[in-house]
Structure 1
Amino acid sequence: MHRPSPTENRLAAELAEARPELVDGYTAELPGARAAVLTRLWRALAHEPLPWVARRVRGAHSLAVRLADGRALHGPPADPYATTGYVTAVRLDGVVYDDPARLMTDLGWPHSAGFAVELAHSAASLALSRADREIRPKEWPDRDWEWEQRVVDGHPFHPNCRSRPGFSVAEELAYGPEHRPVVRLEAVPVAAGDCLLTGEWPDELRDAGRLLIPAHPWQSAHVLKGGSAGPWRAAHPLLSLRTLALPDGPHVKTALSARLTSSVRDISTYSVGAAVTLSAFATDLASHMDGLLHVTRTLGAATAHSPDLAALLRESPQVYAAPGERVLPVAALATTGLPGSPSWLAEFTRLALTVGLRLLDLGVALEAHGQNLLVVLSETGRPLRLVYRDLADIRLSPARLTRHGITPPDLTGRLVTDDETTLRRKLFGSLVAGALAATAGSGPALATALAAAVRGLPATPDLTALLEGPLPAKALTLMRLSPETPGDRWAALPNPLADTL
Structure 2
Amino acid sequence: MHLPPSPAEEAVAAELADVRPSLGPSYAAALDGARAAVLTRLWRALAFEPLPWVVGREPTSDGLALLLAGGARLEGPQPDPYATEPYVSELLLDGRPHRRAARLVTALGLPHGEQFAAELDGCTASLALSRAGRPTGEDRAPQATWEWEQRVVDGHPYHPNCRSRPGFSVAEQLAYAPEHRPVVELGLVAVRAEECLVTGDWPQELRDAGRVLVPVHPWQAAHVLKQERVRPGAAGFAAHPLMALRTLAPVDGGAHVKTALSARLTSSVRDISVYSIETAAAVSAFAQDLSERLDGRLHITRTLGATTAYSPDLAAVLREPPEVYANAAAGERVLPVAALASFGPARGAAWRAEFARLALSVCLRVLELGVALEAHGQNLLVVLSADGAPLRLVYRDLADIRISPVRLARHGLPVPPLSGRLVTDDVSVLRRKLFGSLLTGALGATVGSAGAFAEALAEVAALPATSDTGALLTGPLPTKALTLMRLSPGVPGDQWAELPNPLVGG
Q: TM-score scaled by structure 2?
A: 0.97
Unmatched 5+ stretches in structure 1: none
**Does the Cα contact within 8 Å between 2:461 and 2:473 map onto a contact in 1?**
no
Task: State yes or no: 1:235 paired with 2:236.
Answer: no
Q: Deviations over 1:68-113 (max 9, x none)?
A: 1100000101101000111010010111010000001111111100
User: What percent of counterpart residues are identical?
Assistant: 66
Q: Deviations over 1:303-342 (max 9, x none)?
A: 0000000000000001111021110100000101223211
Shift of 1:461: 2.4
**Does the Cα contact within 8 Å between 2:376 and 2:441 map onto a contact in 1?**
yes
**Does the Cα contact within 8 Å between 2:480 and 2:497 map onto a contact in 1?**
yes
Aligned to 1:24: 25
Distance 1:196 1:271, change over 3 A: same
* SS, match of residue 154 in structure 1: coil
**One-letter amino acid of the structure 2 residue matched with residue 81 of structure 1:** Y
* SS, match of residue 354 in structure 2: helix
Shift of 1:139: 6.3
Distance 1:175 1:139, change over 3 A: closer
Distance 1:92 1:12, change over 3 A: same
Aligned to 2:287: 282
Aligned to 1:461: 467
The correspondence of residues 319-468 of structure 1 with structure 2, limited to 5 A, is 319-323=324-328, 324-452=331-459, 454-468=460-474
Task: State yes or no: 1:315 paired with 2:316.
Answer: no
Distance 1:139 1:128, change over 3 A: closer
**One-letter amino acid of the structure 2 residue matched with residue 368 of structure 1:** A
2: distance between equivalents of 1:481 and 1:320? 41
The correspondence of residues 77-226 of structure 1 with structure 2, limited to 5 A, is 77-136=78-137, 140-226=141-227
2: distance between equivalents of 1:278 and 1:269? 14
**Does the Cα contact within 8 Å between 1:60 and 1:77 map onto a contact in 2?**
no
Aligned to 1:66: 67
User: What is the aligned counterpart of 1:480 among 472, 482, 486?
Assistant: 486
1: distance between equivalents of 2:239 and 2:130? 20
Aligned to 2:10: 9
Task: State yes or no: 1:491 paired with 2:497.
Answer: yes
**One-letter amino acid of the structure 2 residue matched with residue 75 of structure 1:** G
1: distance between equivalents of 2:61 and 2:339? 33
**One-letter amino acid of the structure 2 residue matched with residue 308 of structure 1:** D
Unmatched 5+ stretches in structure 2: none
* SS, match of residue 186 in structure 2: strand
1: distance between equivalents of 2:4 and 2:174? 25
* SS, match of residue 263 in structure 2: strand
* SS, match of residue 204 in structure 1: helix
* SS, match of residue 74 in structure 1: strand
Q: Deviations over 1:241-264 (max 9, x none)?
A: 000001212100000000011100
2: distance between equivalents of 1:59 and 1:416? 45
Aligned to 1:302: 307
* SS, match of residue 348 in structure 1: helix
Number of matched residues?
A: 499
Aligned to 1:50: 51
1: distance between equivalents of 2:284 and 2:60? 49
**Does the Cα contact within 8 Å between 2:272 and 2:312 map onto a contact in 1?**
yes
Q: Deviations over 1:42-80 (max 9, x none)?
A: 000000000010011124621101101100000101101
* SS, match of residue 167 in structure 1: coil
* SS, match of residue 461 in structure 1: coil
Larger mean Cα displacement after TM superposition, 473-482 or 197-206: 197-206
2: distance between equivalents of 1:40 and 1:275? 34
Q: TM-score scaled by structure 1?
A: 0.98
1: distance between equivalents of 2:344 and 2:98? 33
